[in-house]
Amino acid sequence: MPALGWLGGITFVNYIGKYDHWVAFVLLVFVGGKMLWESFHSTSDGVRKTDITKGFPLLILSIATSVDALAVGLSFAFLKVNMPLACLTIGTVAFAVTATGFIIGRKYNKIIGKRVELLGAIILIAIGLRILLSGAF
């Protein structure tokens, strides 16, 4: 996504930069809101209906978080950054943090259950707000 943002920044910066923060905000609040709702409204057997690690919820979450990387790539177009090195660094760090989050999440989900889902929802909504506020000012 940073590479696509960089390419877009070179050619379409006037069109994309005006609303990218709104797209990220809406997608993150949608996924976070769905998680928040489900943390309070579980099924009778206690099994969550939606698995955010598969299918459409994962796709929406991936797009939402990638829009932020796209915006970073847009800024790289103006800073003359070494794109291969930047993309490798961003990809490596994102993979390591995501893998660590999944491992820790699975471990602590068994210990504190629905509170982890609630915390994740709040974090996603907060990230969406941060993106919106940083893009608006």
DSSP 8-state code for residue 45: T
Better-scored residue on pLDDT, 14 or 97: 97
Distance (Å, whole) CA 90 – CA 10: 20
Q: Classify each residue of 38-65 as buried b or exposed e, where b means 16 or more C-beta atoms within 10 Å of its C-beta.
A: bbeeeeeeeeeeeebeeeebeebbebbb
- How many domains does one find in the chain? 1
| Highest-pLDDT range among 10-14, 31-35, 65-69 | 31-35
* pLDDT above 90: residue 72: no
Q: Is the pLDDT of residue 103 over 70?
A: yes
4 pLDDT band (50/70/90 cuts)? confident
- For residue 46, the model assigns a pLDDT of 53
Say if residues 71 and 5 touch (Cβ distance below 8 Å): yes
- Structural domain including 128 reads 2-136
Cα(112)–Cα(75) distance, integer angstroms: 40
